[in-house]
């Protein structure tokens, strides 16, 4: 979010540990999409003569099939603008004041699955030791 929104949120939370990170600009967010042309102009001033990228540089913003085109071989303003402002960003919300945070976290995990990732959900809770104690009620009556 913007700096003002983050500061407002930071001042409102009670009994929750929050660490404020001053980055000033929310990269990889829809908030910076409108500055793409300005970013490209500024980077063209900084990088007037693009240099060839090293063979060790593995690009994540250009598909592997296009790594050998002339434009993708250069560390240019266009390359850095494209990698800073990707079109296919998925924003995951971690908290929301009006809803239970557990629901928000589970929705975020569902969004990760929809993006093709495989989060290790079993790591979120302690491991279950078998066999369970004799006093543990049976779950079979609950299953229909």
3 closest CA partner among 32, 23, 19, 18: 23
3-state secondary structure of 51: strand
CB neighbours (10 Å) of residue 85? 20
Q: What is the pLDDT of residue 40?
A: 86
Q: What is the pLDDT of residue 87?
A: 64
> What's the mean pLDDT in 72-92?
76
3-state secondary structure of 127: coil
Judge whether 23 and 33 are in contact, CB under 8 Å.
no
The whole-angstrom separation of Cα 102 and Cα 11 is 22
For each of the domains in the chain, give its residue range(s) and CATH number, in order of start.
Answer: 30-82 (1.10.287.1960), 90-126 (no CATH)
Residue 54, pLDDT above cutoff 80: yes
Q: What is the pLDDT of residue 53?
A: 83
Residue 36, pLDDT above cutoff 70: yes
Q: Residue 137 — very low, low, confident or very high, per pLDDT cuts 50/70/90?
A: confident
3-state secondary structure of 30: helix
Chain segment 83-136, per-residue pLDDT in tens? 776 666 677 777 777 777 888 888 888 988 998 899 898 888 888 777 777 788
Q: What is the pLDDT of residue 8?
A: 82
Residue 45, pLDDT above cutoff 90: yes
Judge whether 132 and 139 are in contact, CB under 8 Å.
no
The whole-angstrom separation of Cα 112 and Cα 93 is 11
């Amino acid at each position: 979010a913007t700096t003002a929104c983050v500061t407002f949120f930071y001042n409102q939370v009670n009994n929750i540990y929050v660490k404020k990170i001053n980055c000033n600009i929310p990269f990889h967010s829809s908030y910076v999409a409108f500055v793409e042309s300005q970013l490209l102009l500024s980077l063209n001033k900084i990088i007037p003569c693009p240099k060839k990228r090293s063979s060790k540089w593995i690009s994540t913003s250009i598909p592997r099939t296009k790594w050998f085109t002339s434009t993708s071989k250069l560390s240019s303003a266009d390359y850095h603008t494209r990698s800073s402002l990707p079109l296919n960003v998925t924003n995951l919300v971690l908290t929301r004041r009006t809803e239970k945070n557990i629901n928000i976290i589970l929705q975020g995990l569902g969004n990760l699955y929809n993006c093709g990732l495989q989060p290790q959900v079993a790591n979120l809770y302690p491991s279950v030791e078998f066999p369970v104690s004799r006093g543990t009620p049976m779950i079979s009556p609950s299953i229909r």
